[in-house]
Chains A and B, each alone.
Chain A
Amino acid sequence: MLELTRRAWLRATGLASLAGSVIGGARLAGQTAGSPRAYHPRHDAHVMGTVGRTSAAGFNPSAYVRSWNFSELPPDERSRFYRETPRGDGTLLREYEIFAVDREIEIAPGLFFPAWTYNGQVPGPTIRATEGDRIRITFKNLGTHPHSIHFHSWHPPEMDGALAGQEVHPGETFVYEFDADPFGLHHYHCHTVPLKRHIHKGLYGAFIVDPKQGRPPADELVMVMNAFDTNFDVENDVYAVNTVANAYVHEPIRVQVGRLIRIYLVNFTEFDPVNSFHLHAMFFDVYRTGTLLTPSEKTDTLMLCQAERAILETRFRYPGDFMFHAHQTEFAELGWMGLFLAEEGRTT
């Protein structure tokens, strides 16, 4: 559209006032003299949000949210990526096949992002072990750039994946091996430079370590808050929990009234310093990093810095829809918004 020159603009402003004075009582658009005009029909809350649905063939946020150790796969296929072997001391050896691969992922209906992924998905597969288990990850780089896996956990420096020379080049393989410690909610990510790009392109995932004695049985959910800079201007364009904008608005997470709900919440939003989680009409116990068994606070809004995480526990008191979203409203309106659907007497 024609960007008006200053001259043309001033010209028009002068004219408008001229016309206004000439026609006396007639009011002009753009001038709000007198009572404001009713401009808008009733606001419809449902007009906000994305249009359409993502392809069923791609990443399924509803499956991801309740999966770990490739539990979403049928047994024979799962064994290709994950194996458990009991050890003499009662712990397990857990072996994983993780590969890095470039892949276009659908982050909102019809909107594709050229991601770098672990096992073709963003976030990467959730890795879950019990404190003291041995974790052995065979990492194969099938991508086009060097990558690595850097775990937030106790481990010797050789297993850090971040130090100079520890990147795994395309076509190469490296085996990460360490004990699951300490218990809590952690994560892993690529630590190859430039770090910002390797992370925001999608190389991260959740890492859960259960305490030896376990936690009380609950309906457990994995939520990774993330965002995508689709035009590479170092600012996010699309926000989500578990990658797909508004995924849980279109397909709410179904939960049971009265049952203990445990949310493993990780923040992997790049560029923005913090992200947050707000649950409507409810309060939850917060276990920061999940490393202690007593909650540190009870709240309805939790702020997390990049790479921070927390375990949240609550029970739904009433049936119905419960919104959850970032309380940075901008993030919420750019896709980081979802719904729980709480139902009576349903077993999940």
Chain B
Amino acid sequence: MTRRLLLALLPLLLLGALLAIIIRTGPADAVRGEHFPPVERLTFQRVTLEPGAIVAGVMNDGPDTVTIAQVQVDDAFWTFTADNGVALRHLGRTTLRIPYPWVEGEAHVVRLLTSTGTAFEHEIPVAVETPTLNARFFGIFTLIGLYVGVIPVVIGLLWFPFMTRVSDHGMDFLLALTVGLLAFLLIDGAAEGFEAAGLLPESFQGAVLFALAAAGAYLLLEGLGAWLKGHGRAADKGYGGWVLAVLIAVGIGLHNFGEGLAIGSAFALGEAALGTLLIVGFTLHNTTEGLAIVAPLARERRRVALGGLATLGLIGGVPTIAGAWLGGFVYSPVWSVVFLAIGVGAIAQVVGQIVRQMAREGSVARMLATGPVLAGLFAGFAVMYVTGMLVG
């Protein structure tokens, strides 16, 4: 036993010794030389505007210590205070408070000069006071969430009575439509997630973080599905319609949470203007999500209580509100990536489940190759694409 433990620990001990040698001798320093400038990398985190002040969170994302020597705002040296000092070690953070008379609705540039004269810039595209946690903004963000997430999804659910009355071929078409819709959200969420990941400090390894969170969500939902199936005493061939509907609602809910985050933060950053067409486009776009949730229930032609439908709608829609709150008040790019990834993982799991169920015990390839399914897939994707154009 001790022998086995020793054998397990031996490589670790050797690794420790190797690390000690590397740190002691510093082979990299031999290459860099004495006067080689340090590698400096500062990343701006949350930047907020208060009356008469800009507050900027800054993180040292590089390997060497960075000292913030001076701050310039709009090409003028400006005084500042730092709550955690100005010398930041690897991954060290500080918050700078700059008493600057910013101008509402105009752009500003904050520039940090390090002790070596390296400059790091952050642009505030449109200066607006950052919302603080108060009832007024809470109400606004709740309304935003309702109108973006909850109401369109619930409207989509109202197709349920119609869907229970369509033929088998029609049902295949509708399920395939759902898969098309979800596939669109999958690609869209992944694209936005990777874009957000690219803007993270390098130490966070945005792309890997995204993949990790997506895989985690996928596996978690698989587990949840298996658990629900056990409780619902469904047949072995797949999830029951209800379980599948819940899973789809959860997946869409997680996706909408990520959307809410982006919306809330955009709103907090003051990027707001008018556009009736955009509102219309958005409503159309998200209504289809309700359709996706009830499709598996309609397929079983079972009766569902109104309360059940409402629950599904809330699971799918309400996370938008929570996302908008979080995005508006405590926005962080890291969480944005994580939640977009969770949404993607969840949707991937749901797509897999629906496809498996559509195929029943048969071949997936043969099932996909039928007319109604192909038409449904294409239609689902196309509907999302066209309504997506309306919102950007």
A108 in contact (CB, < 8 A): yes
Bits for A202-214, please: 1 = Cβ < 8 Å to B, else 0: 0000000000000
B80 in contact (CB, < 8 A): yes
Within 4-35 of A, Cβ neighbours of B (below 8 Å) are at 4-19, 22-23, 26, 28-32
B69 in contact (CB, < 8 A): yes
Q: How far is the CA of A333 from the CA of B143 in the complex (A)?
A: 44
Set A8, A17, A23, A333: member contacting B274, Cβ < 8 A: A17
Q: How far is the CA of A107 from the CA of B373 in the complex (A)?
A: 71
A14 & B279 in contact (Cβ 8 Å cutoff): yes
Interface of B is mostly: mixed
B51 & A39 in contact (Cβ 8 Å cutoff): yes
Q: How far is the CA of A80 from the CA of B263 in the complex (A)?
A: 70
In the complex where A19-B147, A49-B77, A237-B117 touch, is A334 in contact with B72 (Cβ < 8 A)? yes
B192 in contact (CB, < 8 A): yes
B26 in contact (CB, < 8 A): no
B271 & A13 in contact (Cβ 8 Å cutoff): yes
B119 in contact (CB, < 8 A): yes
Set A15, A47, A108, A334: member contacting B263, Cβ < 8 A: A15
Complex interface: chain A residues within 8 A of B131 (CB): 29
Least CB distance, A327 to chain B, in whole angstroms? 15
In the complex where A2-B333, A2-B336, A11-B266 touch, is A23 in contact with B139 (Cβ < 8 A)? yes
A-to-B contact residues, CB < 8 Å: 1-19, 22-23, 26, 28-32, 36-37, 39-41, 43-44, 46-51, 108-114, 228, 230-231, 237-238, 245-246, 330, 333-335
Complex interface: chain A residues within 8 A of B263 (CB): 8, 11-12, 15
B15 in contact (CB, < 8 A): no
Q: How far is the CA of A245 from the CA of B144 in the complex (A)?
A: 48
Least CB distance, B47 to chain A, in whole angstroms? 6
B52 & A40 in contact (Cβ 8 Å cutoff): yes
Q: Chain B residue with minimal CB distance to A6?
A: B392
B199 in contact (CB, < 8 A): yes
Q: Chain B residue with minimal CB distance to A228?
A: B117
B382 in contact (CB, < 8 A): no
B388 & A17 in contact (Cβ 8 Å cutoff): no
Complex interface: chain A residues within 8 A of B69 (CB): 108-112
Add 14 more A-B contacts to A2-B265, A7-B392, A108-B69 (CB < 8 A): A4-B265, A5-B392, A9-B271, A11-B282, A12-B266, A12-B272, A14-B275, A17-B275, A23-B143, A48-B76, A48-B77, A51-B71, A237-B72, A330-B76
- Chain-A contact segment, one of B99-107, B208-216, B241-249: B99-107
Complex interface: chain A residues within 8 A of B392 (CB): 5-11
- Chain-A contact segment, one of B5-13, B122-130, B166-174, B175-183: B122-130
A13 & B275 in contact (Cβ 8 Å cutoff): yes
B329 in contact (CB, < 8 A): no
Complex interface: chain B residues within 8 A of A48 (CB): 76-79
B384 in contact (CB, < 8 A): no
User: Which of B76, B77, B119, B263 has most A Cβ within 10 Å?
Assistant: B77
Q: Chain A residue with minimal CB distance to B98?
A: A47
Q: How far is the CA of A111 from the CA of B277 in the complex (A)?
A: 51
Bits for B274-290, please: 1 = Cβ < 8 Å to A, else 0: 11111101100000000
Set B45, B104, B116, B388: member contacting A7, Cβ < 8 A: B388
A15 & B79 in contact (Cβ 8 Å cutoff): no
B325 in contact (CB, < 8 A): no
B44 in contact (CB, < 8 A): yes
User: Which of B44, B114, B271 has most A Cβ within 10 Å?
Assistant: B271
Least CB distance, B100 to chain A, in whole angstroms? 7
Complex interface: chain B residues within 8 A of A333 (CB): 75-77
Within 189-208 of B, Cβ neighbours of A (below 8 Å) are at 192, 195-196, 199
B119 & A230 in contact (Cβ 8 Å cutoff): yes
A13 & B199 in contact (Cβ 8 Å cutoff): no
Q: How far is the CA of A298 from the CA of B118 in the complex (A)?
A: 41
B70 & A18 in contact (Cβ 8 Å cutoff): no
A-B contact pairs, 28 of them (CB 8 A): A1-B46, A1-B331, A2-B333, A4-B271, A5-B195, A8-B192, A11-B259, A11-B266, A11-B391, A13-B275, A14-B279, A14-B282, A15-B144, A15-B279, A17-B279, A28-B272, A29-B272, A30-B270, A32-B104, A39-B104, A41-B52, A46-B79, A50-B79, A51-B71, A108-B77, A111-B117, A245-B77, A330-B75
Q: How far is the CA of A3 from the CA of B122 in the complex (A)?
A: 11
Complex interface: chain B residues within 8 A of A111 (CB): 69-70, 113-115, 117
Least CB distance, B48 to chain A, in whole angstroms? 10
Q: Chain A residue with minimal CB distance to B86?
A: A110
Q: How far is the CA of A111 from the CA of B40 in the complex (A)?
A: 14
Q: How far is the CA of A162 from the CA of B129 in the complex (A)?
A: 56
Set A9, A17, A335: member contacting B77, Cβ < 8 A: A335
A47 & B104 in contact (Cβ 8 Å cutoff): no
In the complex where A2-B262, A39-B104 touch, is A246 in contact with B267 (Cβ < 8 A)? no
Complex interface: chain B residues within 8 A of A109 (CB): 69-70
In the complex where A29-B131, A30-B128 touch, is A7 in contact with B136 (Cβ < 8 A)? no
Q: How far is the CA of A39 from the CA of B129 in the complex (A)?
A: 8
Complex interface: chain B residues within 8 A of A50 (CB): 70, 77, 79
Least CB distance, B355 to chain A, in whole angstroms? 27
A4 & B101 in contact (Cβ 8 Å cutoff): no
Q: Chain B residue with minimal CB distance to A233?
A: B119
Complex interface: chain B residues within 8 A of A245 (CB): 77
Least CB distance, B389 to chain A, in whole angstroms? 10
Q: How far is the CA of A18 from the CA of B145 in the complex (A)?
A: 11
Q: How far is the CA of A43 from the CA of B126 in the complex (A)?
A: 21
Q: How far is the CA of A22 from the CA of B139 in the complex (A)?
A: 11
B21 in contact (CB, < 8 A): no
Complex interface: chain A residues within 8 A of B147 (CB): 15, 18-19, 22
Q: How far is the CA of A28 from the CA of B105 in the complex (A)?
A: 13
A13 & B270 in contact (Cβ 8 Å cutoff): no
B140 & A19 in contact (Cβ 8 Å cutoff): yes
Q: Chain A residue with minimal CB distance to B87?
A: A110
Bits for B142-177, please: 1 = Cβ < 8 Å to A, else 0: 011001100000000000000000000000000000
